[in-house]
Chain A
Amino acid sequence: MNFNSLEFLALFLPMTFISFYAAPMRLRLPVLTAASLVFYGVSGLWVLGAFAVAIVWVYAIVIICKNRLKPLAIVIAVLVPAFFLIMFKYLTFLLNSFQAGPDARSFFWLFLSVLLPAGISFYTFELVSYTIDVADRKIEPDHSLTRFATFATFFPHLIAGPIMRYSDLRAQLLLLEKQPTLRPKIGSGLKLLSIGLFCKVFFADICGLAVSRAKTVPLEQLTAIDQLTEIGFWSMQIYYDFWAYSVMAIGLGRLFCIELPVNFREPYRSENPREFWKRWHVTLSYWLRDYVYIRMGGRENYVRNILIVFALVGLWHGAGWNFVAWGIYHGLLVILYHATAPAWNRLPRPVAIALTFTLVSFGWPLFFLSLNDYAMFLRHLITAPWHTMIYQPAHWIYLGVIGLVTFGIREQDWLYNQLDSRNIVTDSPVVLAIVMFMGLLFLSLSTTFIYFRF
């Protein structure tokens, strides 16, 4: 189920909200878990079954091996979720890479023909981090299957993050179990939900429509300005798609007294590629830092480790060489910054931001194009004429408005502002209701969140 669907907003969410607050204290978590499983199960019973098996497996193995969680036990614990991840997400990629024949494909038919389970990369990483944290004795294993299942399934973060650590949620889940009276931040929850929905529809999806305009014309007919505009739309589409989901997730969490971490900290205002990754998909960056980069030795072999980590970032985003290339491209940017930091850091701030944004933006087409198509895209960009064909001033004005919001207004002033510094527009219930209504009316134009595929 999508956050940007009428079924979710008009039926699932109100019903879950009422059930949750009407339920006795001891049933709050079971209600949340059941609702989350329904939320996920709409995608199909196969994927729901796989998800449930992965949760129970990790829960049981960690309990059974809690005093002996050595590497072998960790491997056993993550075996099932990793197996599902590989079979559902990476099998086609592996078969294509090894040029497997029809017999091999026929053998794996069941996995190949099941639709990629939504959010599988997210929940797999959460289950792995739980296992490793228990092994490292950072946390105690949870003996409550309900609590553990709520952690893994809580629907606001289930499909597209943020990637939660058990330590982030445990105390909050305990409160839900033990606190008779709950004081949810409903106002701010609805605010984030409304604004997230609005930006998904009017920023991300309209940018997506603008990108699809370029798809109606063969590449050879595009001009350089068209291609650069297309890159601009791609940048904003991806950012606002994921940003909107994360904002809605935080808002939804607040409706249920759960505070989820901010996953995007105005990444396009970053002054260098390293800073970008501290602001973009923050929970993924920290996951990879803690469980991969540091364990490989961190700065001891910086270049190698960064390239491996970013290749993994790419693979995590998608099963394809284009995604691997995208990851390595970002790894190279980080290394480039590392090597030139003294000079880079002397750049005037606007120049550093513009440079970082431009470099990042040139990577986004790899999200949508194969390596060959990307190479052709770049080659054409160099030789294409400098006039415009498919994009018009209205498109640039629109892109400019989004750019103004992105670069010109701080989120702390209008989105995550405190109660004592109310924003006259974005904290007005009437404005928020209109914003929500506009989002609902235009949902038919809205597409699935891009990160649902990861």
Chain B
Amino acid sequence: MLSISHDQRRGLALFGLTLGLLIGAALWSSARLPSYRDPPFDFSAMSSPQLFVVNQLTRRQEGSVKVGFAEAYDPPEIGLYANHVFQFFGSEAFGRNDDARYFFNYWYANLALPEIYRYLRHIEQLGRLPKKLILIQITSPNIDNGQFIINFGNELPPDLILLGNEGDGILGKTRRFSEIAWNAVENWMHQTLNYNTFILGFLQDRYGERVVDSESCWIRDVNVSLPALVGRLPMSVQPIVGAYGEHYFCQRRMLSGAFRRDGSTDPAYAETQLTQNEDLLKDAERGLAAGDEHEIARQMRAIDAIGRRHDTRLVFVVPPAYESERDDSVVNQVFNRGLALVPELTIIDHREKRSDASLFVDYRHPSPKYFRILADEMRRGGIVE
């Protein structure tokens, strides 16, 4: 039995009430944020130089822009399902940047294989899978020390998370269901109790048009510049001091991460530095361990089955990281074992292209030159025309 003194009880009531009010405010703020899934944003209606600015969006909203488009609009011939690692993969790699129907890059956030599977299952149910080719990017193990390959990144909307992988037998199904349910709760909590969500929920409606024409921004010389002090504040705090308005998104730094018509982002606006071996692959921070090879293989097979069901070619791509020879890292070895379990799948493994600096924007992100090489290789291999 529990006994609490009168004094403690009063303090606890005050503590609980205040915390409850604040959490309530966070829930309210989160609920105010507009979803870009409904109504969805139509990328194909953009013109080539236009950009969709994602600054001052929560990660969930940023993802919703892509999910909403995938749900509501006709799929391209080639669809790339990826995370930030392939964000600079644009249609120019195929020499088709004038054709909005040819290629679309559905990348967002830190999607891992289980999330890409759910994403695809969802699109499959809506009948909007790409027509000719599905490209799946797998995070190369040395990029994030084995993270974001089979572990969840809390990035998908809850209804997509609930599209779980089918388990084997009652035990497998129960285990899978509890994992998925847990992920859905975890995901919701992370999105709601988040400073960015909290602040933006109050301020987001102050922003102007998100689609900007990068060229006319500079030509019309409406490129706004903020006072230095305001500019140094966190992005989500700037509107508090009045930094918003019609041309707010014309600032050059706002265009970092902005989506182009084909869903990719423009490396010209990237603010990164190329550092070899940036991830030190510390033992204590590994994201893969012995036994995970089976999960990697299982997830890859589950994804591949989606393509097979619709006679759509599906290819996995493992990109390089800008590093020295680190093939013997534990995460790399676990990953190799996983790939060895699925010889029947089409996998383009480019991890050995690690040493040419021109193929990278930074340690984790390959450059447009790399994507041209990748597209050429696919063309030579008859994967694309």
Contact = CB atoms under 8 A, between A and B. Distances in A.
A binds B: yes
B198 A110 contact: no
Contacts of A113: 288-290, 330, 333-334
B334 A441 contact: no
B189 A6 contact: yes
Given A11-B185, A113-B334, A116-B284, A443 B18 contact: no
Contacts of A7: 186, 189
B12 A44 contact: no
Contacts of A430: 14-15, 18
How many B residues touch the partner, as a band?
Answer: 35 or more
B166 to A, nearest CB: 22
A183 interface: yes
Contact of B4 (A102, A186, A433): A186
Contacts of B193: 6, 10, 440-441, 443
A116 B1 CA distance: 39
Interface in B317-352: 328, 330, 333-334
B226 interface: no
Interface string A429-440: 110111011001
B125 interface: no
A183 B290 CA distance: 46
Contact of B290 (A109, A216, A444): A109
Interface string B26-63: 10000000000000000000000000000000000000
A49 to B, nearest CB: 13
Contacts of A442: 195
A434 B18 contact: yes
Contact of B15 (A116, A180, A190): A190
Given A180-B1, A429-B15, A453-B284, A10 B289 contact: no
A21 interface: yes
A382 interface: no
Contact of A115 (B186, B232, B275, B289): B289
Contacts of B186: 6-7
Contacts of A440: 23, 193
B382 interface: no
B372 to A, nearest CB: 28
Contact of A394 (B8, B190, B232, B334): B232
A429 B330 contact: no
Contacts of B185: 11
B289 A44 contact: yes
A112 B330 contact: yes
B26 A441 contact: yes
Contacts of A341: none
A64 interface: no
Contacts of B190: 6, 444
A429 B289 contact: no
A144 interface: no
Interface in A172-194: 180-187, 190
A239 to B, nearest CB: 20
- Classify chain A: how many residues form its interface, as a range: 35 or more
A437 B15 CA distance: 11
A10 B194 CA distance: 14
A92 interface: yes
B283 A444 contact: no
A216 B369 CA distance: 24
Contacts of B373: none
A114 interface: yes
B1 A181 contact: yes
Contacts of A429: 11-12, 14-15, 18
A216 B273 contact: yes
Q: Is the interface of A mostly helix, strand, loop or mixed?
A: helix
B290 A110 contact: yes
Contacts of B195: 441-442, 444-445
A433 B22 contact: yes
A89 to B, nearest CB: 9
Contacts of B2: 21, 181-182, 184
B15 A183 contact: no
Nearest to B333: A113
Contacts of A10: 189, 193
Given A216-B275, A441-B194, A436 B19 contact: yes
Interface in A356-413: 394
A183 B2 CA distance: 6
A445 B196 CA distance: 11
A187 B8 contact: yes
Contacts of B18: 429-430, 433-434, 437
Nearest to A188: B8
Specify which of A112, A182, A185, A186 lies most central, judged by the most chain B CB atoms within 10 Å of its CB. A186
A86 B1 CA distance: 43
Interface string A199-217: 0000000000000000011
B194 A444 contact: yes
Given A182-B2, A394-B232, A433-B19, A187 B11 contact: yes
Nearest to A445: B195
A110 B289 CA distance: 9
Contacts of B5: 183
Contacts of A441: 26, 193-195, 198
Interface string B186-206: 100110011110100000000
Interface string B280-318: 000110101110000000000000000000000000000
A452 B8 CA distance: 33
Contacts of B283: 92, 115-116
Interface string A102-122: 100000011011111000000
Given A6-B190, A437-B19, A444-B195, A114 B290 contact: yes
A433 B1 contact: no
Given A6-B190, A433-B19, A437-B22, A186 B12 contact: yes
Nearest to B12: A186
A286 B7 CA distance: 37
A114 B289 CA distance: 5
A396 to B, nearest CB: 15
A24 B111 CA distance: 45
Interface in A412-454: 429-430, 432-434, 436-437, 440-445, 452-453
B15 to A, nearest CB: 4
Contacts of A217: 273
Contacts of B23: 437, 440
Contacts of A183: 3-5
B1 A182 contact: yes
A44 B15 CA distance: 35
Given A116-B284, A444-B194, 6 more contacts: A6-B193, A46-B289, A113-B289, A217-B273, A429-B18, A430-B18
6 contacts: A92-B283, A114-B290, A116-B284, A429-B18, A433-B18, A444-B196
Interface of B: 1-5, 7-8, 11-12, 14-19, 22-23, 26, 185-186, 189-190, 193-196, 198, 232, 273, 275, 283-284, 286, 288-290, 328, 330, 333-334
Nearest first, the 6 A-B pairs at minimum CB distance are A433-B18, A113-B290, A429-B14, A429-B15, A453-B284, A433-B19
